[in-house]
Amino acid sequence: MYKKLVQFFGSLSVLYLNWQSEHLQKKLIKKLGYDPKKNPGGGKVEISQAEKDKIAHVETEVRGLLDRFKGEVDEVVKFLETHKIHTYKVKHAQKLLKKIGERSGFITERHGLRALMLNLVTGNGIKFKTEPMIVVDDDESSIYNYIHYLHKWFAMKEGLPGFDEKSQRLLQKFKLSKNSDKIIKRLSIPQIAGLRRAIARDVQSIDFMSQYTREHEGSQKALEKMKKEGSIEL
């Protein structure tokens, strides 16, 4: 029962993240002068074939890793640690990070005062630079979230655009803002372009996680059914 509740709330969290990202995309498209209702395809981010190939490669590789890890969060964490992506479990992480303009989860490289505050929160001392990291609440154990983090890290590793510090910090700012329209009005065209790339990476990771989870849970249910009916022996 507890596991089902965790999965249910994990699903709701993912749906909210997806809605939030898509809602922001629509606002940015309007800022560029397109009306989504009159011109649904207007303002789309152009994706080169090379970028499409990278996106497909990321999904294939992450899918293979997750199959190997068999849905175990600890295995995902261990793997990321071998690639110098440390996971920090911090009590009340969400609240602490919000105060410095960040959200829990996968956080890309930071510099300056923001990096200093992140280092203090994670116990890394007084430094004005951070490496990419994962910062979560001390009771975080949802595989949904770790699939999301793994996919984002792999996309960054493969050089997909949208992971530069300026774009990522803008993305965090919007996610924490209660008045995104006010911020959008002040954005330059290059800032909008970078932010839209960051959003695209976020949405792709969420979409991948949703799809992989549906496929995996569907195959698990089919396997259990076959076992009950005596169709297979394990």
Which string of DSSP letters, residue by residue, matches 74-104?
HHHHHHHHHTT-EEEEETTHHHHHHHTT--S
For the stretch 193-209, pLDDT in tens is 898 899 889 889 988 98
The pLDDT, as a whole number, for residue 184 is 81
The pLDDT, as a whole number, for residue 142 is 86
- Per-residue pLDDT, averaged over 37-60, amounts to 75
pLDDT band at 228 (very low <50, low <70, confident <90, very high): low
The pLDDT, as a whole number, for residue 234 is 33
Residue 58 near residue 207, CB atoms below 8 Å = no
Crossing angle of helices 143-157 and 73-82, in 10° steps, is 20
Cα–Cα distance, 175 to 14 (Å, whole number): 14
Q: What angle do CA 194, 20, 33 make, to 5 degrees?
A: 55
The pLDDT, as a whole number, for residue 110 is 98
Cα–Cα distance, 115 to 77 (Å, whole number): 22
Residue 90 near residue 122, CB atoms below 8 Å = yes
DSSP tag of 160: -
For the stretch 76-125, pLDDT in tens is 999 999 999 999 999 999 999 999 999 999 999 999 999 999 999 999 99
Burial classification of residue 94, based on how many CB atoms lie within 10 Å of its CB (0-12 exposed, 13-18 middle, 19 or more buried): middle
Half-sphere exposure of 107 (CA within 13 A, CB side): 31
